[in-house]
Amino acid sequence: MKGKDFLSITDLEPDEVSQMVRKASEMKIDGVPRLLEGKSVALIFEKPSLRTRVSFEVGVQQMGGNCIYLSQADIGLGVREPVVDVARVLDRLVDVIVARVFSHESLETLAEETTIPVINALSDLAHPCQALGDLLTMSEAKGHLEGLRVAYVGDGNNIASSLALSCASVGTDFVIAAPGNYHVPSVAWEEARRRAFEKESLLEWVEDPKRAVDGADVVYTDVWISMGDEREADERRKVFSKFQVTEDLMGLADDQAVFMHDMPAHRGEEVSENMLDHHSSVVFAQAENRLHAQNAIMTELLSG
């Protein structure tokens, strides 16, 4: 880990990404060290959450610690008081901050103004905990990561950005099918390109979902309307209407391909009605693996 915080996949060197996936896999089997005994973790959530909140609360409990859940209504991050004041107060009272925020800048301020680890539990730009859990799921499903072809269909959002970076870090080919104006932001894409070049893997953007999915080992999608994008809902539904992952589209992937979705899923929008129950779907194993990936991250940050 480059620093005391985990805000992005880029906080890990490419080889550290594979190491973190291995560590998560080991912890899934052997359990976690009780590094949080007598310690407290603040969970700041500006947006709703099921998987992230529950997996962090369970993980902290497994490590012997205590969680304090702080919703936007409780603390009004940046509204009731500035992010820097929240950071300086929590720095004196708790041992780790886990934060889900609208603006990635809030995370950066929390990280800069504290001495304790800050973990990104989703921002507008990145969801690195999800991406590490996803690599664990892929390696369990396929037995390896290097040389796999991942096709991501849909919005080039926080999920797509972290997934592109994490695939590029471990030598997994990554192809995104996204409409022109919804491609992954250039900062993340350029860094993913550097990492893919180093690992001699493929990183490609196409506009045709069929081209992306053709022969893929993993087909992945996420919502079209992320938390915070609600005002663009009608426009987005129109733009993405040809980007739904259906059984037919899945049929173009490799015979042994798996289907992934970080959830929550909107049946009838980005996925057809039965995709989550399709024989290729690993979405619930994927949800569980958030726990193991985050335990590995917390262990690394606390022992580092």
Give the residue from 292, 299, 300 showing the smallest Cα distance to 11: 300
Minimum distance, C-beta of residue 223 to ligand NVA, in the bound complex (Å): 5
Is the Cβ of residue 33 or residue 179 nearer to ligand NVA in the bound state? Answer: 179
Question: Smallest distance from the beta carbon of 261 to ligand NVA, in angstroms?
Answer: 10
**Distance between CA 76 and CA 71 in Å, rounded?**
8
Cβ 253 vs Cβ 219: under 8 Å:
yes
Shortest distance in whole angstroms from residue 29 CB to ligand NVA? 26
Cβ at position 34, least distance to ligand NVA in Å: 29
- Measured from the CB atom, the residue of 107 and 159 that comes closer to ligand NVA is 159
Complete DSSP assignment for 17-81 = HHHHHHHHHHHHHH----TTTT-EEEEEESS--SHHHHHHHHHHHHTT-EEEEEEHHHH-BTTTB
- With respect to ligand NVA, which residue has the nearer C-beta, 80 or 266? 266
CB of residue 159 to ligand NVA, shortest distance in Å: 5
Non-local CB neighbours of 55 within 8 Å, separated by 6+ positions: 290, 291, 294
The binding site for ligand NVA (CB under 6 A) comprises: 122, 157-159, 222-223, 226-227, 262
Residue number with CB closer to ligand NVA (122 or 196): 122
Q: For residues 226 and 286, give the distance between their C-alpha atoms in angstroms, rounded to a whole number.
A: 19
Least CB distance to ligand NVA at residue 48 (A): 9
For CA atoms 83, 86, 87, 88, give the dihedral sign: positive
Token pair 């999800």 in the structure block, residue = 130
Residues 246, 272 contacting (CB under 8 angstroms): yes
Identify which of residues 191 and 270 has a Cβ nearer to ligand NVA in the complex: 270
Q: Which is nearer to ligand NVA, 78 or 133 (CB)?
A: 133
Three-state secondary structure call for residue 100 = strand
Minimum distance from residue 129 beta carbon to ligand NVA (Å): 10
Report strand pairing: 40-45 vs 66-71.
parallel
CA dihedral 170, 119, 258, 62 (to 10 degrees): 110
Cis peptide before 264 (omega within 30 of 0): yes
Taking the least distance from each CB to ligand NVA, the nearer of 6 and 114 is 6
Handedness of CA 138, 140, 141, 147 (dihedral sign): positive
Closer to ligand NVA by CB, 90 or 122: give it. Answer: 122
Contact 124, 104 (CB under 8 A): yes
- Give least dist CB 170 to ligand NVA, A: 21
